[in-house]
Amino acid sequence: MRVIICGAGQVGFGIAERLAAEHNDVSVIDTSAEFIRNVRDLLDVRGFVGHGAHPEILAAAGAQEADMIVAVTLYDEVNMIACQVAHSLFNVPTKIARIRSQAYLQPHYQDLFSRDNLPIDVIISPEREVGELVLRRIAIPGAVDVVRFADDKIAMIAIECMEDCPVINTPLQQLSELFPDLPSTVVGISREGHLYIPHSGDQLNAGDLAYVVTTKSQVRRTLGLFGHEEKEASRIVIAGGGNIGLYVSRTIEEKQASTRVKIIEDSRERAIVIADRLRRTVVLHGSALDQRLLAEADIQDADLMLALTNNDQVNILSSVMAKRLGCKSNLALINNPTYHDFAKTLGIDAHVNPRTVTISRVLQHVRRGRIRAVHSIHKGAAEIIEAEALETSPLVGPALRDLSLPDGIRIGAVYRDGQVLKPSGEMKIRAKDRVVIFALGKAVKQVEQMFRVSLEFF
């Protein structure tokens, strides 16, 4: 696939890195010569210094033959115009734009991005996406990661196995026999930095991170089985009143009336703005690194600290300080992937990477076949994929035990006629089933092939 990426910042670089690693033909455009020099030096891509919305720059980057343009510069208007130019002058089939301002995304303006107006096929709003992810983490305490599939009926949860985890040192097959009515499947295990797909005879060890696919209704029971019965936070302190912090606190106000929220915002002007937009949330002006201000926010009595500023160092340090001052748990927004490896050792209970959220959305549209959703995990080492089975798919027909599935693939659940089915050896996939699959990076292309439309279909 030939892809043009406008914007070589952290998000653009991450998308280019992932697509180039999969041998796509990638061109990157940015006004910064330093950024372009960086992508040329580190990645197998072509780099162009210039404005992503200018026709001559797009032409030089190969827009005439491009299959997709991904506009992720810092400016919404540049992203929108780049997609418009790519459509009007070069007829690029798929156009994806990052839109950060919520002013463009109001429901009553939804026709703005139609083909007759601004022809953008996919809108990515990182703040809203990350905000939703944070809200899912709040709603499901004990899970390191939470992703939903199949109209929110299926969930993939990442669960840390602690020393007192009841299911460690027990073969996975035995767990299925002990809990036959629990529709949960362990599809992946991360152990000491290595990610692999377990067999029925394998067992979990203390320190493992287990990736489990289950139904939405059985998430809490599954977490309880793994020894995680943490209560949902009722007192929350948020560091950072930007778009994400505002989105999270406003949603909590609307949906969780009993939850008390306090926001610490460094900018006086921004603090005044968000105080006007929120009803019950207490807004405090000052630094989240000020211990006196944290005490004023009653951090010692808080259940959860959400560090959502645009500064990784502030997020990490404020999370650590909050924990040491008595806050029960924390979650930090961390953009720089180099910080992820040691976040746990510093005392960060959970972290969110906005770049991963954006990359996952882009991959959903890069993947060929009837791919409905993609979530990248473990720094791209694997993907959780929801795909629709066609009549011509090799999955359709035979029992699962008779299929020769490629190495690195595990089926986690099947969604059929509004019902979630746990995979078993005798199960047969039908056409139009939506299949949730855990796939290691090396097997992703084979998953695409299994869900592509073949010529005999027509």
Do residue 22 and residue 115 come from a single domain?
yes
Q: How many residues does the chain have?
A: 458
| pLDDT averaged per 10 residues, the chain (length 458) | 92 90 92 95 95 95 94 94 95 92 79 81 88 90 89 93 88 87 92 90 91 93 90 94 93 91 96 94 96 95 95 94 94 86 84 83 76 85 90 87 87 93 90 93 86 51
| Backbone φ and ψ of 147, nearest 5° | -135, 140
Q: Which of 352, 382, 398 is the last residue of a domain?
A: 352
Q: Which DSSP helix (H) or strand (E) runs through 437?
A: strand 434-440
The CATH number for 403's domain is: 3.30.70.1450
Residue 195 and residue 288 in one domain: no
Calculate what percentage of the chain has a pLDDT beyond 70. Answer: 98
Do 298 and 320 share a domain, yes or no?
yes
Please tell me the total count of domains within the chain: 4
pTM of the model: 0.81
Shared-domain flag, residues 195 and 145: yes
CA–CA gap between residue 400 and residue 239 (Å, rounded): 48
Instruction: Render 91-136 in DSSP notation, one character per residue.
Output: --SEEEEE---GGGG-GGGGGGGSTTSS--SEEE-HHHHHHHHHHH
pLDDT of residue 456: 40
Strand 382-388: give its sheet, edge to edge.
371-377, 382-388, 434-440, 409-416, 419-421
- 295's CB contacts (< 8 A; 6+ apart) are 325
Residue 127 has φ and ψ, to the nearest 5°, of -60, -45
Q: What is the pLDDT of residue 49?
A: 96
CATH number at residue 17: 3.40.50.720
Residue where a domain stops, chosen among 200, 225, 250:
225
230 is a domain residue: no
